[in-house]
Amino acid sequence: MRIFWWCFGLVFTLGAVPARAHSPMPGAEGFYIGLIHPFSTPSQALLMFGLGLLLGSFDTKKVRWLLGAFVLATFIGLFLGPGSNQLEAAMFALAFFACAWSALIPGKLLPIAVMLPVIGGLLIGMVSVPDPGPTTDRVITMTGSMLGANIGLLYIWGIIIVVKERYTWKWVEIAFRVVAAWLGAISLLMLALQFAASDVAQISAVEAISVVLHERL
């Protein structure tokens, strides 16, 4: 496993090219934007890290099912989008469930746990669909988003596995469960703020209508 990760990092290092102020290939800027899009908002970032912790809690032989489900779901989600702002709450909720799973029952109930990366992949794919524009540019950006989501999840899982293999102390496993619990609490708090903001907006709208009606009458 260590040799695999060393080779993986070596390929990316050797494939690096000098930085340029402007992209040498038309449309490549959209690809780079799509590449970091799965981590560009708190809801997406929390969901990605939550799913990464979920994958890291399972045996490496079983992770292929979770990764495969996420890849397929992300691809399908791109065709179901574009997603609306209402998906923010869904991503925070799913991030909470993924983190809670990793903290409370890590590495268990794989047939049920596989539904989390499936739903997560669909949500990430749906919110990764760019605004209307030239078809080629949109395809390039969506391709970057899909690669960014899957490579990002692979890296998060890989870092967790490397840490667990290098440091085999019992407290390392406990530390990851604590991290999952903290991220789950943050996700739940962000979810509550989403509903609180919605309620405030509704109250403000009602008050505004009441003021208008009062002035008219």
The pLDDT tens digits for 38-93 are 999 999 999 999 999 999 999 888 899 999 999 999 999 998 877 666 789 999 99
Amino acid occupying residue 29 = E
Q: pTM for this one?
A: 0.79
Encode pLDDT of 12-34 as tens digits: 443 444 444 444 455 567 888 88
Element (H, E) at 132: none
Residue 170: other Cβ atoms inside 10 A:
7
Question: How much is the pLDDT for 83?
Answer: 63
User: Is there a contact between 108 and 59 (Cβ–Cβ < 8 Å)?
Assistant: no
d(CA 209, CA 173): 54
Q: Quick one: tokens of 192? A: 């509550």
**Secondary structure (3-state) at 216:** helix
SS3 content of the chain, % helix, strand, coil (to 5): 80, 0, 20
Domain ranges of the chain: 29-216
Q: How confident is the model at residue 211 (pLDDT cuts 50, 70, 90)?
A: very low
User: Is the peptide bond preceding residue 38 cis, with omega within 30 degrees of 0?
Assistant: no
User: Is there a contact between 73 and 125 (Cβ–Cβ < 8 Å)?
Assistant: yes
Question: How much is the pLDDT for 205?
Answer: 40
Residue 4 scores a pLDDT above 70: no
Question: Which whole number is the average pLDDT over 200-217?
Answer: 46
Encode pLDDT of 120-146 as tens digits: 999 999 998 888 878 888 889 999 999
